[in-house]
Amino acid sequence: MTFRYILLLAPLLAWGQAAQPGDAPQPQPSAELLRRAIESFKVRTGDLGMRSGIVDKAAAKRPPTRWHGRIFWNLRNDVLDAVPHEVTQTGGNKGILRRNQYGFSLSGPVIIPRLLRASHRTFFTVTFEGVRENQGRSFLETIATLAERTGDFSQTVDTAGALLPIFDPQSTRANPEFDPSRRISLLNLQYLRDTFPGNRIPSNRLDPVASGELAHYPRPNAAIGPYFRNNYTNYTPERNEADGLRALLDHTVSDRQRVSVGISISNGFLGPAQVYDSAASPSRPGRRERARGASLRHTFTFSPNSVNSFQVEAETESSRAGDASGAGPFPRYSFSPYLGMGRREPASRSSRTDVEIENGFSLRRGAHRVRVGGAVEWDVNNDYEPEYPAGFFLFSRGLTSLPGIVNTGHSFATFLLGMVDGAEKTFVGHPSYWRQLEWRVGAQDEWQVRPGLTVSFGALLEASLARAEKYDRQSTVDLAAPNPAAGRPGALVFANRNGYGRRLQPAWYMFQQSVGLAWSPFADSRTVLRLGMERSMEGHDSQGGQWGTQGFNAIATYFTQNPQLAPAAVLRHGLPPLSTPLPDLRPEAANDTDAHLLDLSGRAPASHSYTLSLEHPLSRTLVVRAGAGFTHGWNRGADDGANPNAIPLEALQYRDMLYSEAFNRSLRPYPQYRRFSLNEFYVGSERGGSFDLSVGKRTPQGLSLQFQYEFSRRMDNYDGELQDYYHREKEWALSDISPHRVSVQYMYELPFGPGKSLWTTGWAGTILGGWAISGTSTYSSGEPLELRARFNNTGGVVRDLYVNAVDGVSAHVPQRGPERWFNANAFVNPPDFTIGNVSRRHPSLRGPSRQNHDLGLAKRFRLSAEREVEFVGTALNFLNHANWNQPDVEIGSLASPNTNAGRIIGSRGGRIMQLGLRFSF
Amino acid sequence: MRNALTCLMLAALGAAPALIEARTLRVAAWTRADRVLQADGLTARVNGEPAPVVRLQGPGEALMVLLVLDLVGDLNKIELAREGLVSAFSKAPRNLHLGILRAPGGLRVLLDPTDDHHAMARAIRGFPVSGAPALLETITGASGLADSIISDSPARVAVLYVTDSEIRNYREDFSNPVVNESDDRDLSRRFPEGLVRDRVARLSAMLAASQAPVFVVHLSYKTDRLDEAYQSGILQLASTTGGAAVFCRSDAEIPEAIRDMTGRIVSHYAVDIQAPSGSRGPLSVSLEAAAAGELDYRSRYH
């Protein structure tokens, strides 16, 4: 050591002497300089503990390595925010907002007094974060008017402003002059029914239960209109509290081994704003959430060309929602288009635990780099989510309408009469304990054929086992199983009974392949052409909750035999109890319900995709990339887009007879069920292509800019409800995606202050230095419009009725604006008992585009080399831009047009800001 | 004896203030179009004041490269980097001595500086791929080591990092992951690059006083926001020291990028100029050499 210092002194002094002003440097031979430099390297690296053998000795002499960390506080307050445009338009103002987010993070080498000094081997990070937030939320809804609450509909009009007649269901009688050979119309009514005198329901006819429940229903407090619409606004607080901790310990066992262990803990409470403050509020209930996580990662380097990595991750989340006061849940009442009462899942609890064990081994041999790996994933979901424990009551206009005539009657009038169109009540005796297992093994080879050409091959075998219930309390309808009660196929079957497996659905063994190519076709290796082809498949998508447990739990369903003539139930009489106690494991236990149906076919969703891209640097700091892709997918999972119990469209010829529940059901393939509730039914297809262009620029001065444009066009035959489930080839339509998307992301360190090019010193440098800008701007063109008929008089055959095009009338308008976004006169409600001829999504009409601009500004103050304070301002939608709402796409009939069709009413958005302070050390 | 020598050493270091008073700046410079930079006609200014050139060393003179390997990820890229480094340094002139260190877990010497190409190749091919990336943790250490060597022997010294680091793989948490999943109105992570930017700014301030140029070859080009900030920061750090950084967008680019970067290191001139006495704070340097044409050089010091 002493000798090293002696060696050091001479050049040091020589360097010092060389630095004396006016002295000429003494030229020294290159070899001598190198010799001294090498010796210096050895001495310095030894002193700094960078050499094997003297590391510990050297480290012992050094002071403990400092810990790094930060303390932060972020603040949001309504004073900083703009009034949301949707609130301004309703004449409202901002509500209170107080949000405080605070915490700290600390990281560095682990030190245990007397046991472990700071070393580079063991490193920790601990982060705590807390949130306390109270925020006002605005609501704008349409509710019953004061007059309507008393049964007075004398001022109630339709969307065209014409009086909406309310008919008395008690006055219903057959029309002796009805001619069944002619269509039902005002001139040929099947049933006669009288309007209430003065369009007012007498008070003695009001259902006492309905009248009583109205005590929990709000009264109008606004007149935004038109026609009494948007007559209720409210601004109520929302609470958000959370505390969380993350900790990570990273230990370098040796040069070849590294282990890291992490944990995370978080507790939170979300108290959503209530649209109105009463037990009947339809808003979601408050929810307590708890999350725990743990991870272990181990990396072992066998040799310079082979590495193994192993990791285990476990996460568990639980949530508990609902009123813990002990008061029973409020029933749910729905009388669209008015805001209803009561909520779905008024009290629920669930927990989800995922455990994943993964191992991967990478080996480089010759021109090949091979990766082999495998993983096992185990999901546990425990759910208790009764949907309507106090009942769900649906009211429609049918019972107060003139049978067979659209645009008559009102669902709220039907509610006041207590005449239920349909009802459900959920009986859940115990939680469901779902378990699902997946495993996969795969291999990939990257082969460097020659410099500038790399080909990769990948193969993955994946097994996806469908969900199982811990106590086998799982069921589904098997469309082939005999149903003794109905005398036809389609019966409820149960897990682990009668030859059915625990999982009901077959396991999927999926073999996926990929081929890729990266080629530099020119002498310049920085220009890269990439080609990719992939066949991929997806595993089971399992639904939790009590879905698929019929027989063990029940959703009692009450429906009318004719929604225009007879109620399913009467409010004041309540709902009858279950006819068969649970568990009810009969094959017919799901008869007359919306039966839960799993896809037992074994079809797995799959897709082929092809990509091509070219990347080329225009300069050292500017890179351009252009790419294109094509995808074809099949067996895509549909829920609304599948309906195995659909009535064929030919049945529309039966016209008003379809309103007879018995006749209607007789036309269904599985008449023992009203309809099917599906999770994923793998019957859809899609195909599409895309083109993208991106430009990236980075400069040493601290500018980073990414511009991206993407054009995409995709079509599918399964997304959303269809008119014709039996001719899916007719249902191809544009997918619900924006065709043009542009995004710009930027980060820039302003060129002022110390170390920069301008105002490097003085007050200007202090004030102007240390500023940084971050931002993101996005633009997306509108999605294809889904035009729908306002009056769906198809006897329940078609659930979502498209519209008809009017010949010779263009759908587009010359000067598009919110007053007239498209020409609604180009479309018309299809005649009764016919389907629309315009596709599910219009081929050329698009909704309004959207744009958003977010900006972050930061200013650093250096306190010392290791300490600084940073102020951060973040503004979302900093331009306070308003994006228009979607246009009204409901097309009325010629007799009763929707005057708002094609119009855009209102816009949304508003600037929100957050200020932050961070002390780093 | 040891104490006496230590005192002598400290006395020598105590002379440092005088050295700082008449501060010598090491300027890394390059000529364009293969012109030769000569001391005759080379003039320098510091903050607009003339500053004497005390030493000029060109590509033909002694060069020590401190190669720092910060490689922990994709074996394919690492293998290409290994072969690219072996190829580049096997063709290096004999006046180049290469010392090799690895960054993960703290700077550790793998090879003392040598001109033995076989030893270089053995060390480059033999280092283990493990640990967490550590460029941000070690860059000031590597730069400081190079500066110390320059202060001991005014040979040309440069630092070359070869890294495949991703910001999310650091031991220190720069990604600022969500702590409270239930807090869905968190705006603080809208621009996640804040922590990376802070660290880069602090390192940049430290490196502004360094002498040796730092060069970085990154084996991949990332465009997600966090890595964009990280790689942009690497570019800034290298630029601050008068060095450069390059990011490879394809495997094919790796050997070429390493070759180009070593070529740039070998071809650099080390111009030692004497800053006027009392120069403090930010220093702006300008070099002119009519015969050599336009020069690329580091122009800012602190």
Which percentage of chain B shows pLDDT scores above 70?
Answer: 92
| Mean pLDDT of all residues in A41-46 | 90
Of A33, A68, A102, which to mutate for an interface test with B (greatest number of B Cβ within 10 Å)?
A: A33
Q: What value does the mean pLDDT of chain A take?
A: 90
Listed in sequence order, the residues at least 6 apart from A102 whose beta carbon sits closer than 8 Å to its beta carbon are: A72, A73, A74, A129, A130
Which residue of chain A has the CA closest to B145?
A: A44
The sign of the CA dihedral B13, B18, B21, B22 is negative
Asked if A635 and A683 count as a contact pair (C-beta separation under 8 A), the reply is: yes
Could you tell me how many residues make up chain B?
Answer: 302
Of A693, A704, A757, A763, which to mutate for an interface test with B (greatest number of B Cβ within 10 Å)?
A: A704
pLDDT at A309 over 60: yes
Supply the pTM of this predicted model.
0.85
Tokens of A190: 């099947």
In whole angstroms, give the CA distance from residue B74 to residue B79.
9
pLDDT at A627 over 70: yes
SS3 A346: coil
pLDDT at B114 over 90: yes
DSSP sequence for A487-556: TEEEEEEETTSTT--TTSSPPEEEEEEEEEEEE--SS-TT-EEEEEEEEEE-------TTTT-BTTBEEE
Listed in sequence order, the residues at least 6 apart from A809 whose beta carbon sits closer than 8 Å to its beta carbon are: A823, A825, A826
Residues 364-383 of A with CB under 8 A from B: 364, 369
CB atoms within 10 A of CB A128: 17
Give the pLDDT band (50/70/90) at residue A247. very high
Q: Which of A8-17, A541-550, A876-885, B198-207 is modeled with the greatest confidence?
A: A876-885
Listed in sequence order, the residues at least 6 apart from A374 whose beta carbon sits closer than 8 Å to its beta carbon are: A358, A359, A439, A440, A441, A442
- Report residue A582 CA to chain centroid gap: 35
Tokens of A651: 């049945």
Does A44 contact B145 at a Cβ distance shorter than 8 Å? yes
Of B147, B152, B210, which to mutate for an interface test with A (greatest number of A Cβ within 10 Å)?
A: B152
Query: CA of B73, closest CA in chain A: separation in Å?
Result: 9
| Mean pLDDT of all residues in A625-654 | 95
pLDDT at A116 over 80: no
Nearest CB partner across the interface for A452, out of B6, B126, B252: B252
Q: What is the pLDDT of residues A767-782, one digit of tens each?
A: 888 899 999 999 999 9
| Mean pLDDT of all residues in B201-208 | 90
Q: What are the residues facing A461 on neighbouring strands?
A: A441, A511
Does A51 contact B206 at a Cβ distance shorter than 8 Å? no
Q: What pLDDT, on a 0 to 100 scale, did the predictor assign at position A578?
A: 86
Which residue of chain B has the CA closest to A873?
A: B188
Tokens of A313: 């991750």
Asked if A468 and A502 count as a contact pair (C-beta separation under 8 A), the reply is: yes
Sheet with A332-334, strands from edge to edge, namely A332-334, A392-394, A422-427, A554-559
Q: Which of A4-8, A230-234, A382-386 is modeled with the greatest confidence?
A: A382-386
Select from B261, B141, B202 the least CA-distant residue to A869.
B202
A40 interface with B at CB cutoff 8 Å:
yes
Residues 84-113 of A with CB under 8 A from B: 99, 101, 103, 105, 107
Select from B156, B39, B49 the least CA-distant residue to A21.
B49
Select from A382, A353, A552, A381 the least CA-distant residue to A472.
A552
Rg of chain B over all Cα atoms, to the nearest angstrom: 20
The DSSP symbol for A196 reads P
Give the pLDDT band (50/70/90) at residue A567. very high
Is the bond preceding B52 in cis, omega lying within 30 degrees of 0? no
The sign of the CA dihedral A225, A226, A229, A230 is negative
Of B7, B115, B191, B231, which to mutate for an interface test with A (greatest number of A Cβ within 10 Å)?
A: B191
pLDDT at A328 over 80: no
pLDDT at A643 over 90: yes
Query: CA of A429, closest CA in chain B: separation in Å?
Result: 28
Within 8 A of A702 by CB-CB distance, chain B residues are: 232, 236
Asked if A397 and A478 count as a contact pair (C-beta separation under 8 A), the reply is: no
Nearest CB partner across the interface for B252, out of A304, A525, A701: A525
A452: left (phi over 0), alpha (psi -120 to 50) or beta: left
Within 8 A of B82 by CB-CB distance, chain A residues are: 304
Give the pLDDT band (50/70/90) at residue B293. confident
ipTM summary value:
0.89
Q: What is the pLDDT of residues A697-753, one digit of tens each?
A: 999 888 999 999 999 999 999 999 999 999 999 999 999 999 999 999 999 999 888
SS3 A43: helix
Phi and psi angles of residue A643, each rounded to the nearest 5 degrees, phi first = -155, 85
A912 interface with B at CB cutoff 8 Å:
yes
Count Cβ–Cβ pairs < 8 Å, chain A vs chain B: 370
Q: What pLDDT, on a 0 to 100 scale, did the predictor assign at position B282?
A: 80
In whole angstroms, give the CA distance from residue B80 to residue B251.
7
Q: What is the pLDDT of residues A499-515, one digit of tens each?
A: 999 999 999 999 999 99
Asked if A705 and A645 count as a contact pair (C-beta separation under 8 A), the reply is: no
| Mean pLDDT of all residues in A68-89 | 91
Give the pLDDT band (50/70/90) at residue B30. very high
pLDDT at A296 over 70: yes
Asked if A859 and A767 count as a contact pair (C-beta separation under 8 A), the reply is: no
Which residue of chain B has the CA closest to A620?
A: B246
Does A31 contact B185 at a Cβ distance shorter than 8 Å? no
Q: What pLDDT, on a 0 to 100 scale, did the predictor assign at position A21?
A: 39
Q: What pLDDT, on a 0 to 100 scale, did the predictor assign at position B238?
A: 96
In whole angstroms, give the CA distance from residue A42 to residue A24.
29
DSSP sequence for B186-235: --TTSSTTHHHHHHHHHHHHHHTT--S-EEEEES----SHHHHHHHHHHH
Within 8 A of A12 by CB-CB distance, chain B residues are: 12-13, 15, 151-152
Select from A372, A371, A375 the least CA-distant residue to A357.
A375
Q: Side chain identity at A730, as an amino acid letter?
A: K
Location of structure tokens 């889904």: A786
Of B140 and B12, more confident: B140
A844 interface with B at CB cutoff 8 Å:
no
Give the pLDDT band (50/70/90) at residue A542. confident
Does B239 contact A700 at a Cβ distance shorter than 8 Å? yes
A74 interface with B at CB cutoff 8 Å:
yes
Nearest CB partner across the interface for B181, out of A34, A291, A866: A291
Which residue of chain A has the CA closest to B54?
A: A25
In whole angstroms, give the CA distance from residue B8 to residue B5.
5
- Report residue A33 CA to chain centroid gap: 65
Q: What are the residues facing A875 on neighbouring strands?
A: A855, A913
Within 8 A of B64 by CB-CB distance, chain A residues are: 34, 37-38, 41
A700 interface with B at CB cutoff 8 Å:
yes
Q: What is the pLDDT of residues B249-265, one digit of tens each?
A: 888 889 999 999 999 99
Of A30, A35, A36, A41, which to mutate for an interface test with B (greatest number of B Cβ within 10 Å)?
A: A41
Does B282 contact A40 at a Cβ distance shorter than 8 Å? no
CB atoms within 10 A of CB A572: 12
Tokens of A96: 């209170």
Within 8 A of A19 by CB-CB distance, chain B residues are: 18-19, 22-24, 54, 274
CA distances A457 to A361, A527, A843, Å, are 16, 22, 39
Location of structure tokens 């704003």: A273
Which residue of chain B has the CA closest to A245?
A: B179
In whole angstroms, give the CA distance from residue A517 to residue A612.
10
pLDDT at A658 over 50: yes
pLDDT at A3 over 50: no
CA B228, B230, B234: angle at the middle one, nearest 5?
Answer: 115
Is the bond preceding A386 in cis, omega lying within 30 degrees of 0? no
Could you tell me how many residues make up chain A?
Answer: 921
A865 interface with B at CB cutoff 8 Å:
yes
Select from B185, B262, B209, B155 the least CA-distant residue to A874.
B185
Residues 233-252 of A with CB under 8 A from B: 240, 242-246, 248, 250, 252
Q: What pLDDT, on a 0 to 100 scale, did the predictor assign at position A517?
A: 94
pLDDT at B1 over 90: no
Asked if A235 and A247 count as a contact pair (C-beta separation under 8 A), the reply is: no
Q: What are the residues facing A103 on neighbouring strands?
A: A72, A129
pLDDT at A612 over 70: yes
Mean pLDDT is lowest, of A85-99, A451-465, A621-635, B75-89, for A85-99
pLDDT at A60 over 60: no
Checking DSSP bridges between strand B269-274 and strand B96-102, what pairing results, if any? unpaired
Select from B187, B182, B157 the least CA-distant residue to B266.
B157
Give the pLDDT band (50/70/90) at residue A28. low
Query: CA of B155, closest CA in chain A: separation in Å?
Result: 5
In whole angstroms, give the CA distance from residue B28 to residue B40.
17
Within 8 A of B255 by CB-CB distance, chain A residues are: 451
SS3 A631: strand
Does A5 contact B284 at a Cβ distance shorter than 8 Å? no
Within 8 A of B280 by CB-CB distance, chain A residues are: none
| Mean pLDDT of all residues in A276-286 | 91
Asked if A708 and A780 count as a contact pair (C-beta separation under 8 A), the reply is: no
Within 8 A of B145 by CB-CB distance, chain A residues are: 41, 44-45, 48, 50
Q: What pLDDT, on a 0 to 100 scale, did the predictor assign at position A12?
A: 35
SS3 A680: coil
Within 8 A of A694 by CB-CB distance, chain B residues are: 223
Query: CA of A490, closest CA in chain B: separation in Å?
Result: 42
Does A448 contact B76 at a Cβ distance shorter than 8 Å? yes
Give the pLDDT band (50/70/90) at residue A322. confident
Select from A684, A612, A587, A603 the least CA-distant residue to A641.
A684
In whole angstroms, give the CA distance from residue A166 to residue A153.
7
Location of structure tokens 């309906």: A643
Of A6, A28, A38, A625, which to mutate for an interface test with B (greatest number of B Cβ within 10 Å)?
A: A38
Of B124, B187, B226, which to mutate for an interface test with A (greatest number of A Cβ within 10 Å)?
A: B187
In whole angstroms, give the CA distance from residue A418 to residue A630.
55
